[in-house]
A and B are shown apart, each in its own frame.
Chain A
Amino acid sequence: MTTLSRFDAATGSEDDAVRGRSLWANAWRRLLSNRAAVVSVVLLLIIALLSVVGPMVSPHGVGEIYRSYTKVPAGFQAYPREADIPDMVGTALRRSRTEVQSLELDGSTIILTITSAREIDERLARSLARSADFADVTVVEKSADGLAMTLSMEVVRNTFLFGTDANGRDLLTRVLFGGRISLMIGLLATMVSLVIGVLYGATAGYLGGRVDNVMMRIVDVLYSIPFMFFVILLMVFFGRNIVLIFVAVGAIEWLDMARIVRGQTLSIKRREFIEAAMACGVSTSTIIRRHVVPNALGPVVVYMTLLVPKVILLESFLSFLGLGVQEPMTSWGVLISEGANNIVEAPWMLIFPAVFLGLTLFCLNFIGDGLRDALDPKDR
């Protein structure tokens, strides 16, 4: 079979629809038979689902601060550890001018006896309850002179599977939450570069000549203007808005794609089947959509999988300038750059978001390969 014969069918407009459907149906069938791609799709869906549902079901809020647990390492350890409890009580009682006389621990119940040179303030119990580490604080007994008091309270135990950050926030919840923004940005960048980048590139490349020249010079201009000022101006004129993240990312992330597709198009448009289609009087837009784009899909798909990590990390730069996600919300990009600062002291702050980002990219990679194989017009 020759390339020409495979594509001539599409030139007859009356059976376009039928052929079109079968093209996509075929691609779909072939994608399903690619095991790596299917597994990746499932895994990616799981990550997406975790990002959406995880923060809702997590016992820790995304912005919830555990003041006693800053930079706690990852693990199954429940906090506080028993050995730390006396210290914690000490911290909670700091500046209350009391001394711990005895401290008994029974399961999660603490029986605490304190003494003081002055009468002990009843509000102390509330102060302990406020610390978020203790619950059900009750005064069991108070001596007649008020200089001694026995309290009973429950230790609130928390587990931080991924550890906590510098403010004492649960990293698992934050990593899952970060997935929402990051996946959304990845998706958006993909859409923008697919829609704008591919069409723009294909049009410029196919039409060639002066049109191509002007279109590509516009791309050059966009490449060269300082992105940072663009972002700052967006913020100055439109305030802070999550939509602006997408505008900022969308504005520049299709450029590479446009150049790649144009490059491919320059080569594709000289091939026989395009010339044949032109000879048959097929309209320019149809040729671009039906013949040029499908044949340029290989690099498009590969580049798309490279683009996603790029924009996810780019978002952390936007956050630096104040345009990105705002605390207490977060994203993988922000978490990774925070983690990079803590590489030595709290490596878990880097490892977990990086693993999630990495997993996502692996999935995208295999999906991309699968898609490319499935859509390859030469391979049917």
Chain B
Amino acid sequence: MLSYAVRRLLGAIPTVFVIITISFFMMRLAPGGPFNLERPLPANILRNLNAVYNLDKPLLMQFFIYLQNLVHGNFGPSMVYRDLSVAEIIGSGLPVSIQFGGAALLLALVVGACFGSYAALKQNSMSDYSVMIVAMVGITIPNFVMAPLMQLVFGVELDWLPVGGWGEGALANKVMPVIALALPQVAVVARLTRGSLIEVLRANHVRTARAKGLPERIVLWRHSLRAALLPVVSYLGPAAAALLTGSVVVETIFGVPGVGRFFVQGALNRDYTLVMGTVVLIASFIVLFNLLVDLAYGFLDPKVRYD
């Protein structure tokens, strides 16, 4: 297993390289540049800016300069947020995003798995339907609707929690963003868990276990839930990578200083260095989490082998 993980991590290098190359040229082919603003810049000034950020060099050369800097761990300066380097932006925002995304992920996994198992055990009963209806509502109502509603209800009307803002990182400011991030994921996890648990519960080894008179709790924990979580884990690989690298909607609405907002702003502003920093970061997360997921398969189903 260890050698498998090492091989995969080595394999990540060419993968990330391919991603960087494709992204770099895609980004540069798109119209607009970091200095194309609503207020146009005079030609003189544009020339100065392009010179400072090497944008006046041939594209291929710019690519090699970027790669060279990257190898030395230098993501370059942000072209739009000119006081900050890309590394500083990621360094200040990523811990926040990981914190929020991580909490939301955990919440989603625990609550979702509980709801899902409960519904599966009571399949086709009233409680099953109500849990699943709640889950469907969670899926149907997107973040950009749920977050404002939560702000209106808990912030403005009831005045229980601050509507938004960072508040020096106070816990009260984190409650709503985390829940808003978690809700859609709770729903997905619940649906996936329910679906696969129902199947697993019908499988032979579970029937055997039940027939042996083992208590339902043990049947569930020891024989069923692990296998049932397999599709959930498959789903969570990319989903976790997305959650931990920030959500622009939730961050913008609640004023959370994560990286998600910078990433989308970066793409909209054509902040080339920031976009590339984003790409490298997201690619690393994707590669890493998909590796973790593959390793988790072995834990969830001992029959899965690595080759």
Contacts and interface: CB of A to CB of B under 8 A. Distances in A.
Nearest to B285: A224
A259 B233 CA distance: 10
Interface residues of B, number: 63
A209 interface: yes
The majority secondary structure among interface residues of chain B is: helix
Interface string A64-75: 000000000000
Given A216-B290, A259-B234, A260-B235, A299 B137 contact: no
A32 to B, nearest CB: 17
A344 B27 CA distance: 38
A259 B293 CA distance: 10
**Nearest 5 interchain pairs by C-beta:** A263-B234, A299-B231, A302-B195, A270-B303, A224-B283
B267 A229 contact: yes
A229 B196 contact: no
Contacts of B149: 343
Interface string A261-295: 01110110011000000000000000000000000
B227 interface: yes
A358 B136 contact: yes
B1 to A, nearest CB: 14
Given A226-B275, A309-B140, A299 B192 contact: yes
A302 B279 CA distance: 30
Contacts of B202: 376, 378-379
A303 B235 contact: yes
A230 B279 CA distance: 13
Q: Taking each of A220, A236, A362, A369, which has the highest tally of chain B beta carbons within 10 Å of its own beta carbon?
A: A220
Given A225-B22, A267-B227, A303-B231, A233 B29 contact: yes
B192 A302 contact: yes
Contacts of B3: none
Contacts of B238: 223, 255-256, 259
A339 B303 CA distance: 49
B59 to A, nearest CB: 15
Interface string B153-174: 0000000000000000000000
B233 to A, nearest CB: 7
Contacts of B198: 298
A298 B196 contact: yes
B224 to A, nearest CB: 14
B27 A229 contact: yes
Contact of A354 (B23, B27, B141, B303): B141
A226 B180 CA distance: 24
A176 interface: no
A260 B145 CA distance: 28
Interface in B194-237: 194-196, 198-199, 202-204, 227, 230-231, 233-235, 237
Contacts of B11: 213, 217
B89 interface: no
Given A223-B286, A263-B230, A378-B199, A230 B26 contact: yes
B40 interface: no
A88 to B, nearest CB: 33
Contacts of A233: 26, 29-30
Contact of A229 (B30, B141, B199): B30
Q: Taking each of A228, A305, A313, A362, which has the highest tally of chain B beta carbons within 10 Å of its own beta carbon?
A: A228
A361 B140 contact: yes
Contacts of A223: 238, 241, 282, 286
Given A259-B234, A354-B140, A266 B307 contact: no
Interface of B: 8, 11, 14-15, 18-19, 22-23, 26-27, 29-31, 132-133, 136-137, 139-142, 144-145, 148-149, 152, 188, 191-192, 194-196, 198-199, 202-204, 227, 230-231, 233-235, 237-238, 241, 267-268, 275, 278-279, 282-283, 286-287, 290, 293, 297, 301, 303-305, 307
A267 B30 contact: no
Interface residues of A, number: 57
B152 to A, nearest CB: 8
Given A224-B279, A306-B191, A379-B202, A340 B15 contact: no
A361 B120 CA distance: 19
13 contacts: A3-B204, A225-B22, A225-B26, A229-B30, A263-B230, A299-B192, A299-B234, A302-B191, A303-B192, A306-B139, A313-B142, A358-B136, A378-B202
Contacts of B137: 358
B247 to A, nearest CB: 13
A169 interface: no
A232 interface: yes
B185 to A, nearest CB: 11
Nearest to A365: B136
Contacts of B305: 270
Contacts of B278: 226
Contacts of B241: 223
A354 B231 CA distance: 28
Given A232-B30, A270-B304, A365-B132, A220 B199 contact: no
B250 to A, nearest CB: 13
B175 to A, nearest CB: 21
Given A2-B204, A306-B139, 18 more contacts: A216-B290, A217-B14, A221-B18, A226-B27, A229-B267, A236-B30, A236-B31, A259-B235, A267-B227, A302-B192, A302-B195, A302-B196, A306-B191, A339-B145, A354-B140, A354-B141, A358-B137, A365-B191
A350 interface: yes
A225 B23 contact: yes
Contacts of B14: 217
Nearest to A308: B139
Contacts of A260: 231, 234-235
B12 to A, nearest CB: 8
Contact of B304 (A255, A266, A305, A343): A266
A158 B259 CA distance: 49
Interface in A1-38: 2-3
Contacts of B304: 266-267, 270
Nearest to B268: A228
Contacts of A217: 11, 14-15
Nearest to B231: A299
B41 to A, nearest CB: 21
